[in-house]
Every structure is written in C-alpha cells, then in structure tokens.
C-alpha cells in the first residue's frame, strides 16, 4: 500500500472510530485515598511462610522450593543473556540499513 492510501485508510478508520459512543467507565475503578501509603511488597520467603500457615497444604514447601529454583534459574539466565553482546560487528550496520529502509533483503 502506498503512503497516501495508507494515510487515507488510517484517517478513515480513526474518523469512523470517533463516531462510536464512548464506553461508560464509571464505577469500574474503586476510589483510592491518596493519603494511604503504598502497599509493601513481600519476599518469596514471607509468601511461602504465609502459604504454609494458612493453607496447611502438605506440598507447600515443595512448591516454595520449586518457585525458588525457578527464580534462581531465571536470574542465572538473565545474567547469561546480559553478558552476551546483543549485536556482532556486522549486525549493527545491517540493523541501521534496515531501520533506514535501505536493506535489499538479501
């Protein structure tokens, strides 16, 4: 699609969307007291202890260990990905050409 046609189609779609009624959002969000403090984030250990004491589920410690292992594995994976360069020396010029639209596709 050429640019003028794409622009026309976009403007037409936006114009038609503007004709529709706005959704009624009243009453969907509970009012929040701006003077209340921010909620406190809980650690995995605190959540696991709460789960053990409230549910009494026999597999809660196993679930907690599994969750901790998954968190460690994700942290290790993130560290490994952060250590790798995201582009090699030939990748940056190719990315720049593609962003400018001058990439020939081959």
pTM, to two decimals:
0.33
38 sits in the region (left: phi over 0; alpha: psi -120 to 50; else beta) called beta
> Structural domain of residue 89, as residue ranges?
64-98
pLDDT tens digits, residue range 75-105? 999 999 888 888 888 888 888 888 888 755 5
Q: Is the dihedral of CA 28, 33, 38, 39 positive or negative?
A: negative
Residue 30 lies in a domain: no
Count the domains in the chain: 1
Residue 1 lies in a domain: no
CB proximity list for 48: less than 8 A, separation 6 or greater: 60, 61, 63, 64, 67
Residues of the chain with pLDDT under 50: 106
Q: Cβ distance 48 to 60 under 8 Å?
A: yes
pLDDT value of residue 72: 93
Q: Helices (H) and strands (E) in the chain — how many of each?
A: 4, 0
Residue 15 lies in a domain: no
Q: What are phi and psi of 70, to 5 degrees?
A: -65, -40
């Amino acid at each position: 699609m050429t640019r003028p046609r794409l622009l026309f189609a976009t403007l037409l779609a936006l114009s038609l969307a503007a004709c529709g009624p706005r959704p009624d959002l009243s009453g969907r969000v509970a009012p929040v007291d701006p003077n209340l403090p921010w909620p406190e984030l809980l650690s995995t250990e605190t959540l696991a202890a709460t789960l053990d004491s409230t549910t009494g589920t026999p597999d809660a410690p196993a679930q907690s260990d599994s969750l901790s292992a998954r968190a460690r594995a994700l942290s290790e994976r993130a560290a490994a990905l952060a250590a790798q360069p995201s582009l090699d020396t030939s990748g940056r010029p190719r990315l720049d050409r593609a962003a400018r639209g001058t990439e020939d596709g081959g």
